[in-house]
Structure 1
Amino acid sequence: MPKNTILELAVCTVSNKPAAEEARRAAMAAVKAYPGFVSWRPLTALDHDDMIADLVEWTDKASAEAAAAKVQADPAFAPYMAAIKGVTLMQHFETLETF
């Protein structure tokens, strides 16, 4: 039976979408080395010029929470954090068995 993973969904507003997406690429490169990282799927809203989202998969909730604390001090993450105007949603979800 496969182990459930944790999906982290962050929906944000940004001042400059192209600049935020560029900063996000650098942040993604850094986060790939964090313990428990599985994948990161960057999303961009089609109907909102100022909205982006990130879907990050972690092996477990403890890894996701540790990463949330680590990004606060990670210099590679600072430009991305600065590009974010506001966070609409930041939530963790447990994956369930698919049918």
Structure 2
Amino acid sequence: MSHASPVLELAIFQVKEDHLAQVPALRAGLRETLKAFPGLIDYRGYCPINDDRIFVDLALWSCFENAQAVAQAFNDGDPRFADYMAAIESLSFMSHFSPEPC
């Protein structure tokens, strides 16, 4: 199924306590890795306001196929994601969304 409109990718995850201080550097590396894949429009990482370890990543992709290709590379253990993956204790939610039709 092809989506002509941009696709939002949302991931909610908990970071390992001993990796908290590394999150800014890890996200900078992730941003560069994502740029190497076709179709990235925007990437933003969100940090917890409270003292918990739940973080959110939002990526906007040009189409579902591009978003899915990156998600598959991540799930398959692509070494470009290894440092970021090592910091994640658990993934609570990850999915793709298309804009609501007007």
The TM-score, its normalising length taken from structure 1, stands at 0.84
Post-superposition shift, 1:73?
4.2
Which residue of 2 is the match for residue 7 of structure 1? 8
- Aligned residue-pair number: 96
Unmatched runs of 5 consecutive residues or more in structure 1: none
Gaps of 5+ in 2: none
C-alpha separation in 1, matches of 2:6 and 2:100: 8
Indicate which of 39, 45, 66 corresponds to 2:69.
Answer: 66
Q: What residue in structure 2 maps to residue 94 of structure 1?
A: 98
Matched ranges for 1:27-66 at <5 A: 27-66=30-69
Offset of 1:48 from its aligned partner? 4.2
Out of 66-75 and 8-17, give the one that drifted further. 66-75
SS at match of 2:68: helix
CA distance in 2, matches of 1:13, 1:73: 18
- Indicate the structure with greater helix content: 2
Q: CA deviation at 1:21?
A: 3.1
In structure 1, the partner of 2:79 is 75
Distance 1:95 1:58, change over 3 A: same
CA RMSD after TM alignment: 1.8
Which moved further from structure 2: 72-81 or 53-62?
Answer: 72-81
CA spacing shift, 1:18–1:95, aligned 2, 3 Å: farther
The share of aligned pairs that are identical, in percent, is: 31
Question: 2-side partners of 1:7 and 1:96: how far apart?
Answer: 12
